[in-house]
Amino acid sequence: MRQRTLKTVLLLMCAASAAGQTARAADLEVRATVDRNVVGLNEQFTLSVEFSGSGASSIEKADLPQMNAFAAFLGSSTSQAISFVNGRISSNKTIAYAFQATAVGSFKIAPVKVVYEGKTYQTQPIDIEIRQSAPSPPTGRFALRQQGEDIDQASLQENLFLRAVPSKTRVYPNEPVMLSYKLYTRVALGNVRFVTVPATTGFWAEELQMKETPSSIEVVNGREYQVYTIRKLGLFPVQPGPKIIDPLVLSGDVRVRRRARDSFDNFFDDPFFAPTRTVSIRSEPVRIEVLPLPSAGKPDGFSGAVGQFRLTGTVDKKQIRTNEAVTFKLTLEGEGNIRTLPEPTTSFSSDFENYPPKHNEQIDLQGSTVRGKRVYEYVLVPRVAGRQVIKPVSFSFFDPQAGQYRTLQTGEFAIDVAKGNDAVAFVPSGFSKEEVRLIGQDIRYIKTQPPDFRRIGQGLHNSPGFWLLLVAPLVALAGAVIQRRHRDRLRGDYAYARLRRANRAARKRLAAARAVMSVDREKEFFAEVSKALIGFLGDKLNIAEAGMISDEVQSTLRSRGVAPEVIDEYFGCLQVCDLKRFSPAGATAEEMRAFLEKTESAMSKLNRSL
Amino acid sequence: MRMDVMRITLLTLSFMTALLAGPADALFVDGNRLYQAGQYQAALEKYSEILKLGRESTALYFNMGNCYYKLQDVGRAILFYERALRLSPGDDDVQTNLGIAQLATPDKIERQPDFILARFVQAYCHLLPKRIQVGLALGLYLALMAGVILWILTRGRLIGTWAGRASVALAVLLLLAGASLAGREFEQSNRREAVILATKVEVMSSPGAQAVEVFSLHAGAKVALDRSSGDWVEIILPDRKSGWVKREVLEAI
C-alpha cells in the first residue's frame, strides 16, 4: 500500500514537472516588426522587438542582426506594460530600435535573436525596401502662390534662395538644435518639390509638423522678401565632434516673362496659364560643432540627459494593505530629447516588491521646439505592514543654457500599510526550490499526544542517574586499588617490589662507580662495581646480600633457565672485582672503563634472561 | 548490583515525572481542544500555563508555534518552532512548519559558508545523533573503568597485561567520542540565538538611536546574539552582517 502511494506520488511529480517544462517554454514570445516596409533614403525607420509572456520583463536586450549595409543605428527606447492577473504577473515589453536608411535597394532584416533561460528565440526575417526618392511630403503642399516680379535667369539667384538656419551651431550632445529651412523669394513660385533631403547622420531627428507653411516678410540687403519656412527639424547630436548636414535641394517653377499689369491680365496671372521654367534651389551645408559635456561638476547619477526638465512624483494611494499594489508615478517633462531620456535612478526599500516600470511619452512637435513628457509608472507591492517610505528620486541633467548640471528631486512619500488578509497568498519572486515546494501548503496539525514533559532546563547534567553512572565506576576503581594494596601486603610480596626497583638500584651504583673512576681511587671503584653486581643479583632473586653464596646463587640461576655463559660472564666480573680490591697491582684508567662496560653488558644480559 | 541501582534511579525519576505531569497533561489536552475549535488565543493561554509550571516539551513548543502562526504572528511562531527544534533537532513536523512560517518572512538571508576546518569539526561533532553520542561515550567510559579495575586486580598476570592494553584502546576511543560530545555541548551553550518579534527593526551601526541605520529586519528573522550594552544588543546575521538593536524587539530562543 505504502509502496503504491509512493509510486503515485512519483508519477504525479513527474507529470507536474513535465507540465512545468511546457509552461516554461511558452513563457516567452518574441515578435519583430518595422513601422514601414518602404522607406526613403536617409529616412528613419523603427524596428520594434516585442516580448510577451511572464519572462518578458527580465529581457534586457535582443541580439540585432548586422544591418550596417543599409542602415545606421540611431538609438533605442523601451516600453513596458505589466498586468497582474490572479497574482500572476504577465508583461509585455517592446524595445524600439531607430535606424536611418543609408543605401538604396531591397534588403532583408535577418532574424532577431534573444536568449532566455538558455533557450534561443528567433523572430521572422523582415523585408525592407529603401527607395531613392522618398515618398516625401506632397509637392502640392508647397505650391506657393504669390504676387512677385517675373524675372530673368541672371537675377534669379538674388531673388530666390534657400537658407538652412540652425538655432545654434555649437551645442552639447543631446542638446536640441532647431534647423529651419527658409525659402526667400521675390518671384512668383509654384509647384515646389523636394529633390534631395539630406541625411542627418549623427543626429536623432524629430521632424516638426507644421499645419501650414508659415510665411513672413523679411528684409535682406535692403530688399524685401517673402519668406516661407518649409521644413523644421529638431536635431539631437549623438556624439561630440564636428558635423555637417548636406544641402537641401528643391525644385520649383518660376515665371520668367514680365507681363503688363492691368486688371484684365490679372485674370491670367496664374501659374496655370503662365509660361514657367523649372529651377533648382539649393541651401548651403550646415556645420554644427558638437562639444563634449564638461566633466566638472558632473553629478553621480548623470546619464546623458540634456535640456530643460521638471520632475514630479505622485503616488495614487497613501493607505493600503500588504500585498496590494500602489502606483508610484514619475513625470519628467520639458524640452529636450524626450524619447531617449534615461530612466531616473530609483531605489525602493526591499519591503516593496517592485517591477520594471511601464512608461509612455507624449511629444509635442507642433511648436517651435521639441518638448514633451515622459511618465514612468512603478507598481510597488508592500510585503510588510507598517509605515513605508518611498525615498526621494533624483534625476540629473545638463542645462546647456546655464552651462551647468542640475539635479532634480521628488519629495518623499510615506505610505501606511495595514496588514493584508492572507500573509502567504501573494508569492513574491526569488524563492528557492525548497521554498517553492512549501508554497501553498498549510502548516501541519498540532501534536495531540500528551508528551513526556520535562523540567525546563533539565539536561543530562542535572539528572542524578547520569552522575551516578559517572561516579560509581570511580568509587569502584578506588575500591580496586585499596583491595590490591591490601592483598599485596597480606602476601608480603616484598620480592615483587625489590624486583621492580633492581634495575634502578644497579644503575645508581654503577653511576657511583663511574664517579670514582680514577687511578688513585681504584680500590673504591672496584668496591662500588662489586656492590652493584651483588646488589642487582640480590634484588632480582630476593636474597639478602650478606647470605649470598656463589655456588648456591649459580645453581638457582641455572634452575631459572639462565644460559651458563651468561652466568660465567657475570661471576667472572665479580671475581675480577675481588681480585683488584685486594691485590696491590694497579689498573689504568682505560682498563677501568673497559671493565665498567663489560660489567654493564653482563648485567643487561642477565636481566634479559631472568 | 550497579544495574539495580540504575534501574531504581530511573524508575524513581519516571515516577516523579508522571506524578508532576498530571496537571500539565490536562492543560495540554485542553489546549489541543481549543486549537481544534479555532480558539487559538485561548489555546495559547492553556499551553502557556504548562510553561509556568516549569514544564516543557517539543510538542508543547510546536503547538504554541502553530497557534502563533494561525494568529498571524510569524515572529513568535518561528521563535517557538526554533525552541521545539532545540529539544528535538530532527523533528519532521517542526521543520516543515518552520519552513512554511519562514516563507512569510520578508528577509531572505543567504548563509555564508564557514571556514573549512570549522565545517569539518562541525561535521564530526554531528556525525551521530546526540542520544547515541551520549550513550556511546557513557558505554566507553564504563568499559574503560571496568578494564582499569580488572588491570589493577590482575596486574602481574597474563590477563592483567591484556586488560591493560584493552584499557589504553578504550581510553583512546573515549577521548574521540568525548571530544565530539564536548564540541557539540560547547557549540550549543555558545549559540545564543534570538528571533526578531517586532514588525520592522532598523538595525543600527552602534548602540543608541542616533547611530546610522545599517539595514533593516522584520519579524521572524533569526539572528545570533553577541555583545550587549544597556538596552542594546549586538546581532549577527547568517551572512555575517551585524548591528545593534534594542533588546525589546527580539526574544532569545
Over residues B180-201, the mean pLDDT reads 84
* % pLDDT > 90, chain A: 1
More confident residue, A565 or A144: A565
CB contact B253 to A (< 8 Å):
no
> Across-strand partners of A245?
A286
For residues A454, A457, A463 and A469, what is the CA-based torsion angle, rounded to 10 degrees? Answer: 130
Q: What is the pLDDT of residue A316?
A: 86
Q: What's the CA dihedral at B68, B74, B79, B80 to 10 degrees?
A: 30
Average pLDDT over residues A385-402: 86
Q: What is the pLDDT of residue A435?
A: 55
Amino acid at A498: R
Q: How confident is the model at residue B139 (pLDDT cuts 50, 70, 90)?
A: very high
C-alpha cell at A549: 653464596
Nearest to A446 among B13, B63, B100 (CB): B63
Question: Does the structure show a pLDDT above 90 at B61?
Answer: yes
In this prediction, residue A21 has a pLDDT band, given cuts at 50, 70 and 90, of very low
Report the pLDDT value the prediction gives residue A6, as an integer from 0 to 100.
42
How many angstroms away from the CA of A345 is the closest CA of chain B? 20
Predicted confidence band at A36 (pLDDT cuts at 50, 70, 90)?
confident
Between residues A384 and A315, which one has the greater pLDDT?
A315
Å between A475 CA and nearest CA of chain B: 10
Query: Please, are residues B196 and B221 in contact by the beta-carbon 8 Å criterion?
Result: yes
The minimum CA-CA distance between B164 and chain A, rounded to whole Å, is: 14
Q: CB of A425 within 8 Å of any CB in chain B? A: no
3-state SS track over A188-202: CEEEEEEEECCCCCC
Which positions in chain A touch B93 (Cβ < 8 Å)?
Answer: 444, 447
Residue B62: pLDDT band with limits 50, 70, 90: very high
A443 to B100: CB separation less than 8 angstroms, yes or no: yes
Instruction: Say whether pLDDT at A378 is over 50.
Output: yes
Instruction: Return residues 18-77 of B near A (CB < 8 Å).
Output: 20-21, 24-25, 28-29, 32, 35, 50-51, 54-60, 62-63, 66, 69-70, 72, 74
- Give the model's confidence band at A85: pLDDT under 50 very low, under 70 low, under 90 confident, else very high: low
CA angle B245, B251, B252 (to 5 degrees): 105
Over residues A77-99, the mean pLDDT reads 70
Distance CA A109, CA A217 (A): 48
* CA–CA separation, A405 and A409 (whole Å): 13
Say whether A424 sits in a helix, a strand or coil. Answer: coil
What's at A368, amino acid-wise? Answer: S
Whether A470 has its CB under 8 Å from any CB of chain B: the answer is: yes
Instruction: Measure A474 CA to nearest chain B CA, in Å.
Output: 7
Note which residues in 497-516 of chain A have CB less than 8 A from chain B: none
Strand order in the sheet with A286-290: A170-171, A286-290, A241-245
B74: nearest CA partner in chain A: A423
Residues of A in contact with B213 (CB under 8 A): none
The yes-or-no verdict on residue A469 having pLDDT over 60 is: yes
The grid coordinates of residue B163 equal 586488560
> Residue A170's CB: how many other CB atoms inside 10 A?
12
Residues 6+ apart with CB under 8 A from B134: A460, B181
**DSSP H or E run through A573:** helix A564-582
> Percent of chain A, pLDDT > 70?
78
B65 in Cβ contact with B78 (< 8 Å): yes
* CA distances from residue A223 to A52, A158, A189, A258, A284 in whole angstroms, order as listed: 62, 10, 17, 19, 20
- Residue bearing cell 558632473: A298
Give rounded-to-5 percent helix, strand, coil for chain B: 60, 15, 25
Q: Is the pLDDT of residue B198 over 70?
A: yes
**Predicted confidence band at A402 (pLDDT cuts at 50, 70, 90)?**
confident
* Average of per-residue pLDDT across A199-205: 81
Q: Which of B28, B81, B131 to mutate to test the interface with A (most CBs of A within 10 A)?
A: B28
Q: How many residues does chain A have?
A: 610
A409 three-state secondary structure:
strand
Report the pLDDT value the prediction gives residue B145, as an integer from 0 to 100: 93
Distance of CA A105 to the CA centre of its chain: 43
Cell (9 digits) for B229 = 550594552
Check whether A601 has a pLDDT greater than 50.
yes
pLDDT for A344: 84
**Residue range A478-523, pLDDT digits in tens:** 999 998 888 777 666 666 667 667 777 888 888 888 888 877 788 8
Any bridge partners for residue A120, and if so which? A115
Of B25, B93, B106, the CB nearest to A450: B25
Cα–Cα separations (whole angstroms), residue A363 to A49, A367, B130:
22, 10, 72
**pLDDT at site A83:** 62
Once rounded to an integer, what is the mean pLDDT over residues A81-100?
A: 70
Selected residues 274-313 of chain A with any CB under 8 Å from a CB in chain B: none
pLDDT over 50 at A18, yes or no: no
Residue A71: name the closest of A129, A135, A137 by CA: A129
pLDDT value for A486: 81
Q: Is the pLDDT of residue A8 over 60?
A: no
Q: Where are the beta strands (DSSP E) in A154-211?
A: 160-166, 170-171, 177-185, 189-196, 203-207
Residue B66 and residue A443: Cβ atoms within 8 Å? yes
Element (H, E) at A14: helix A2-25
The pLDDT value given to residue B12? 55
Q: Give the mean pLDDT of A392-409.
A: 88
For the ranges A240-254, A394-408, A422-436, A445-459, the lowest mean pLDDT is seen at A422-436
Measure the CA angle with vertex A265, ends A261 and A268; round to 5°.
Answer: 130
> With a CB-CB cutoff of 8 Å, which residues 120-159 of chain B face chain A?
134, 138, 141-142, 145-146, 148-149, 152-153, 155-156
| Residues 6 or more apart in contact with residue A503 via CB below 8 angstroms | A536, A607
Structural contact between residues A177 and A235, judged by C-beta atoms closer than 8 angstroms: yes
Q: Please tell me the pTM assigned to this model.
A: 0.41
If one counts every other C-beta atom within 10 angstroms of the C-beta of residue A164, the result is 19
Q: Is B7 at the interface with chain A, CB within 8 A? A: no
Q: What residues have CB less than 8 Å from A284, skipping those under 6 apart?
A: A163, A164, A247
> What residues contact residue B216 under an 8 Å CB cut-off, 6+ apart?
A349, A350, A351, B200, B201, B202, B203
| pLDDT, averaged across chain A | 77
Judged by DSSP in three states, A385 sits in: coil
d(CA A164, CA A143): 20
Judging contacts by C-beta atoms under 8 Å, the chain B residues touching residue A434 are: 99
- Residues of chain A contacting residue B21, judged by C-beta atoms under 8 Å apart: 450, 452-453
The residue with greater pLDDT, A545 or A465, is A465
Q: Other CB atoms closer than 10 Å to residue B50's CB: what's the count?
A: 25
Q: Is residue A49 over pLDDT 50?
A: yes
pLDDT score of A296 more than 70: yes
Question: Over 90: is that where the pLDDT of A346 sits?
Answer: no
Closest alpha carbon within chain B to A478: B149
Task: Give how far Cα A145 sits from Cα of A305, A500, A536, Å.
Answer: 43, 141, 148
Overall average pLDDT of the A444-463 stretch: 77
Chain A hits for B10, Cβ within 8 Å? 465
CA dihedral (A295, A300, A302, A303) positive or negative? positive
Under DSSP, the state recorded for B55 is E
Nearest to B52 by CA among B82, B19, B27, B87: B27
State the pLDDT confidence band at A321, using cuts at 50, 70 and 90: confident
- Taking the Cβ of residue B213 and every Cβ of chain A, the question of whether any pair is shorter than 8 Å is answered with no
Q: Which residues of B touch A474 (CB under 8 A)?
A: 145
Q: Which of A159-173, A238-252, A253-267 has the lowest mean pLDDT?
A: A253-267
* A439 interfacial to chain B (CB closer than 8 Å): yes
Least confident of A31-40, A65-74, B101-110: B101-110
Nearest CA in chain A to B131: A460
The residue with cell 592483598 is: A487
DSSP, collapsed to helix, strand or coil, labels residue A507 as helix
**Residues B107-120: tens digit of each pLDDT:** 777 666 667 788 78
Nearest CA in chain A to B130: A460
Nearest CA in chain A to B58: A451
- The whole-angstrom distance between residue B64's C-alpha and the CA centroid of its chain comes to 17
- Round the average pLDDT of chain B to a whole number and report it: 84
**pLDDT at residue A474, rounded to an integer:** 92
Residues 328-367 of A with CB under 8 A from B: 349-351
The DSSP H or E segment spanning A566 is helix A564-582
Q: Do B56 and A385 touch (CB under 8 A)?
A: no
